Structure 1
């Protein structure tokens, strides 16, 4: 009898070690979602001590913003296993698998959930695309996102752009914004205005490709009374005059007709203009921000854009990178848009891990605008709480199919192994490896042991 008791004690100790030293966070609740047991990994995701978490209900923790949505809550709601991505406290994303345990009557008795940190996966995915010697710089940028007036980014390229935005906002120089359709040029223009000394003054914008040639001139320069049949007899202010003291944003500047390019050059150089039909030059104090998705240099060579105007507006160009070149921002943007549309449409939609994987692998030719439109469509049209891969537009499903026979998990594991072993070979210390890669020493030691075996 004593031997059996001793064996049971040893077995229990072994199970406790397996539970505690698992790579994943493990959490056990009762049928109502009250936490009964969890390991340190799971507690660390919630930024709580184990003793603090035990006895708490997952619904209360969700209300406090510890995580969202609750996978255990979904199991209770649906009565079956659930896989989803949570946003966890501290700006992290975690992948959660929650499973119900049924009693002999088929009722839920316990719920166990397994949690894995997606932030580390995102880091390793970035390493797949960059040179090894960029590791330290990338880790620093990943962990310290920059935010300016609501625009946040973890991407090195976008951080550089936002740093330029911050510097140029402090002066009154005209700015040229360059980037593909949908990257957020109008948002950047607004940020420049809001950060500048003109923030309390007018901000106007016009898309030079959206109006006929005759209307663009009137919109920009205004007209004197009596110029047009049916027009305002007192005349009309143009956007230049309306923007006096503030900022005027000219989007799609490459579409501006040549004769208006000449008038614009005069305004930029002389800071004065003449309304259509007027004879008097009006003085102007306005900051002009231009933007285009076209190659203005090629347009100059083709005679479609004035060379003197090009050199005048190209003094301070800001290039806004395409979304496919700053993929580390995709999950943050997706989560931001999802929250926005859930609130607007009074829904509680979330995305399955496969959907987020597709988001990361798709090229997003329409950039941030396309991502936002896709998420709005998914929120509106989804019949279920958790959006699955099959709910995505067909072109995203097809275009983002991985060409490799390896799964994303296998690819990332290979990259992780290469990085861990190379750093360990150089440092010969799990502590130094942990410090360099921004992970805990326990995690570093565990990974080194795993990959050396």
Structure 2
């Protein structure tokens, strides 16, 4: 019964199999052998493998050595079609302990080299991802804190409470208010902090690619695609957090697929007929009014209510003035460190920052500070350096007192006085030019001025 399936069984092996008797005559070959050597099975059966070496078909066979030593061995064989094969031979002994047959498994070195190359490429991608992840972590750690105002402190406390759960989170707010930063903060204080944080920008991924980017695809799905298939961002975030930025831009077909992920916690790759479970937390963000999008038929209502579990609304920067100057000083410190420069804001410049409307929110403020670090020729930034300050305002600014425009809402007296002290010192630095001269004018030690200026920038 078993013998009638013997050929079929050995044909299932991915390795080529060659069986010779003790004299070297080939008595069996599986189908894979012909595929690797390019020589039809019927041209080899009953022939001497040793003779094949003499005729240049193979450059080496294992039979003589294994018959002599009765031990298995491994070597490399060059075939006439140009392939290199790894031979792994083993003896089959009779009752007297003599070699009756030699079984040789043959693997394609070319395939192994390609696999090694692909593994090296994957390692390179993983290394690059690790570097990117480290960069993001460094940026997250050094990124200016956004919780100086009472409203942002409340939001951060709310996020810390939500972070302990696996609830889906929806971040709402204008473009540039810091939804990305808060999503990363949520991940960093959650039990998933040691797992991946993957961001998918639904607005920037082309509509014809977003399905494969999110869900991946199986081998052979596309001509020109990776022959081994591709893991999507959802699977890449397994165990961690998937941040879907600008989810209001997600095409309708993808909204249906995302709904299944939220309902069943399952993901199905493009081209696959089976799904697999995935443990991933979804954090979504948008600057759109999703309720209006639902009414207008551009967003699925069932998906909206699936996302509407823990909703956090982030007010625009103009409504939280207490955050403006601390953020500006934080960005200034961040980019001064990056570009090896030393700049400070004058009190008048700080007042001008507070009065600006910030239509681009925190992103506009960050880009402004980065640009000033790169372009400002002086060590102190004045109102005239700010693009939204008119010349007449810039001339009037020096007359402003150091205490003008101080935000006192939700702040302690100590914090307010600390800010005032820093502003006075920066104003003096702008007037006298050096720390040594400021110390001389104020009658204190230079180290005191330096320490207080540095402390003011860190707060």
TM-score scaled by structure 1? 0.56
1:333 alignment partner, one of 327, 331, 336? 327
- The structure with the largest alpha-carbon Rg is 2
| Offset, 1:292 | 0.3
Q: Does 1:397 align with 2:350?
A: no
Contact 1:176-1:313 within 8 A present in 2 as well: yes
RMSD of aligned alpha carbons: 3.3
Query: Using a 3 Å threshold, how does the CA distance of structure 1 residues 255 and 336 change in structure 2: closer, same or farther?
Result: same
Q: Does 1:199 align with 2:189?
A: no
Query: Using a 3 Å threshold, how does the CA distance of structure 1 residues 315 and 221 change in structure 2: closer, same or farther?
Result: same
| Offset, 1:289 | 0.4
Contact 1:148-1:162 within 8 A present in 2 as well: no
Q: Does 1:156 align with 2:119?
A: no
1:380 alignment partner, one of 364, 374, 384? 374
Contact 1:361-1:400 within 8 A present in 2 as well: no
Structure 1 residues 416-427: aligned runs within 5 Å:
none
Residues 121-166 of structure 1: CA deviation (Å, up to 9, x unaligned): xxxxxxxxxxxxxxxxxxxxxxxxxx99963422111111111111
Residues 148-204 of structure 1: CA deviation (Å, up to 9, x unaligned): 996342211111111111100111111001111111111111111111111111110
**Aligned match of 1:178:** 172
SS at match of 1:189: helix
Query: Using a 3 Å threshold, how does the CA distance of structure 1 residues 377 and 148 change in structure 2: closer, same or farther?
Result: closer
Cα separation, 2, equivalents of 1:272 and 1:400: 61
Structure 2: which 5+ residue stretches go unaligned?
A: 1-140, 418-459
Q: Aligned residue pairs: how many?
A: 273
Q: Which moved more, 1:335-344 or 1:288-297?
A: 335-344
Contact 1:178-1:318 within 8 A present in 2 as well: yes
Contact 1:218-1:276 within 8 A present in 2 as well: yes
| Offset, 1:243 | 1.1
Contact 1:363-1:400 within 8 A present in 2 as well: no
SS at match of 2:170: strand
2:224 alignment partner, one of 217, 227, 230? 230
Query: Using a 3 Å threshold, how does the CA distance of structure 1 residues 187 and 411 change in structure 2: closer, same or farther?
Result: closer
| Offset, 1:387 | 2.0
Contact 2:142-2:334 within 8 A present in 1 as well: no
Contact 1:358-1:400 within 8 A present in 2 as well: no
SS at match of 1:333: helix
Structure 1 residues 7-26: aligned runs within 5 Å:
none
| Offset, 1:409 | 5.4
Cα separation, 1, equivalents of 2:188 and 2:361: 24
**Aligned match of 2:305:** 311
Cα separation, 2, equivalents of 1:216 and 1:401: 48
Contact 2:169-2:282 within 8 A present in 1 as well: yes
SS at match of 2:181: helix
1:262 alignment partner, one of 253, 256, 261? 256
SS at match of 2:198: strand
SS at match of 1:211: coil
| Offset, 1:398 | 4.5
Q: Does 1:282 align with 2:276?
A: yes
**Aligned match of 2:314:** 320
**Aligned match of 2:245:** 251
Q: Does 1:271 align with 2:265?
A: yes
SS at match of 2:285: strand
Residues 26-78 of structure 1: CA deviation (Å, up to 9, x unaligned): xxxxxxxxxxxxxxxxxxxxxxxxxxxxxxxxxxxxxxxxxxxxxxxxxxxxx
Contact 1:176-1:318 within 8 A present in 2 as well: yes
Contact 1:221-1:241 within 8 A present in 2 as well: yes
**Aligned match of 2:113:** none
SS at match of 1:223: coil
Contact 1:261-1:309 within 8 A present in 2 as well: yes
Q: Does 1:166 align with 2:160?
A: yes
Structure 1 residues 96-175: aligned runs within 5 Å:
151-175=145-169
Query: Using a 3 Å threshold, how does the CA distance of structure 1 residues 398 and 270 change in structure 2: closer, same or farther?
Result: farther
Contact 1:247-1:287 within 8 A present in 2 as well: yes
| Offset, 1:401 | 6.1
TM-score scaled by structure 2? 0.55
**Aligned match of 1:113:** none
1:213 alignment partner, one of 194, 207, 211? 207
